[in-house]
Structure 1
């Protein structure tokens, strides 16, 4: 982005707007109508990115917080916390819905920009008060508790700028210490929110939330147990997979987790009950089908995205443009139905045929492929024959074995004659 620099005699239009915004912040503290309107304009068209950050500087400000705190005539020369205070005041015209929507959008944009810098206007006193409220509601469990944890906690929090340390996320252990609970319990709430975000049940992930974040739309309370479990195993990756599978089958995750935690009981049920054994066999068969579907889908995706395929000889084949386009069409055909095993298998087989077609069109590679296949077949045959003990063979020989050995010798003689006729 180009940046216009202020001359000694004249302000650029962007700097003129910043100048008026700075004056509004200092003059209109009681009724900050002008400040709020100018801030909306500065944020809407990225004015703060279009002015230099210092004397003889050509680069704009690296962050919105830096723009607010920079000394005049480049920045606003204000404290971020004072700007947060001004944003909380209402514009005299906010009774009108359209104007109120404009002001709300501006406030959200400013808070988002500051949150990107690790600044949320959120104090440790507020955090302690909110955590105490969380602890009081903890036993009941709810979406709000998970939302609050997602706003406050990061599995790997960073200290960041000392000025902004108070607004940073904290660890699950620190949250647990303040709430008087365990870190495992806090992380179960955190992972419940993440699982819900992955499933599309909540609008934002934890990495987009920050302390003091505005409330977001929450799912129905009846859906809570689909993502949260009080069992410790639910907080592990294995537990998450089991819970997801239970949800797919329409059962409570806690039931599946209980079975998974006691494999001896599962074995006893399979051995003692034919219906349970049948269900286990059906599940294993379904798992095999799913694994094969996943492998086929991944193969089609890799070939389509890379435009290359590894062939049997181990060489990597760069696919011609036409075949690459046909492979991409196969991927597009299953993109909307990736869980359809038959459709994925059909696409996989088609892509393999296309790769084989490309191999045949390359004489050198085609010969290399045939050579690799012949080599594999001969090695396997030699290993198989190698297990026959010549000293013990006469004691068990019969007409059937003689016929097999004779037929094998004829095949080998034909192969030897074939290569002898062509020389080395």
Structure 2
């Protein structure tokens, strides 16, 4: 039994909403803004579950598809396929975020309720799209832009070269219009356009004038796309060009390097939280230091202003000096005393020092503990060797005294004696007189020792 309702006086609120939705479907299906909005409301509050499924029946519809196909005033009296088509048409106000979000929710729920349509298996569709992209990568999207976009063109403008009535007379649009239809920015569209342009210059793809909307061509291998496309506008700046060139030289994708360069906070977090990233950053800084005077100055100032770093630099300098001393001694087979005297190293001392110098954790570099232990072995050998040999001992003591006298002399030579008259101070004079006494005593002691015959001569007499 079919019922046609010309008045809504006998309809419930839910039936009235269904009736209005049906009228919207018939009246403005060409520009279905009203239909889409009403459908969103019907789905949102599940109106279709609250109306009877037929005459003399209080049972609701078993599914949404039955509601769509049921005759008025119970259903929409439409074909599911027609509703699927209408769902693909955009609401004219989807540029407004609220409307877009409402339409997205409605379409997702409507498609879920309607289920998979004929010849629309989502697995097959996704597999087909994935296969096309896997073969061509970004070239597929680049082709879409290259064949449809003519920067600066008006939407209604037709190419003059297109013959009237030909299948290629579909007009190209501006980047703004293409982006509007695609739901993305014109800048993103132009990045694909410029990438294609660079590939044209290399002879890899046809020029824009040889491409027509909807016409496919053979595309290059997917791996080549990253050489032409920059995902960020910074990749086209002078700075981005340098980064991209360096990335290609290292064999990595420029987009990865650009992403890191544009996210210093993320880079800082990675360095702070991961030792491997910190090590890579340190190596990069050390490589850059050699050719960047400004960075050298900044690093030096930072180290001098940071107490912990100053201590670390001092400790590392000491470690490096000890390691160099030990390695030189092992290579030459001898050590030098402070006075510059050469003492050959016995094999057992060499073996002991070499063993202690090896890093315990096989890290490839001797740490402070290993360096200090190896250095101490040689230091104790030198001390014992000097103590056992009187001649060597005297030479070492003489060298030490020479060093101290030179230091004292240099200190007095740096004084400006022309100004001491204005600096009278009893305590200072007392200290100088005491020092003078020490010097005189030292001189007398050395002269007296020189006048005594050598101990060997006394014994022979």
TM-score > 0.5 by shorter chain: no
**Structure of higher CA gyration radius:** 2
Using the size of structure 2 for normalisation, the TM-score is 0.34
- The structure with higher relative contact order (CA 8 Å, sep 6+) is 1
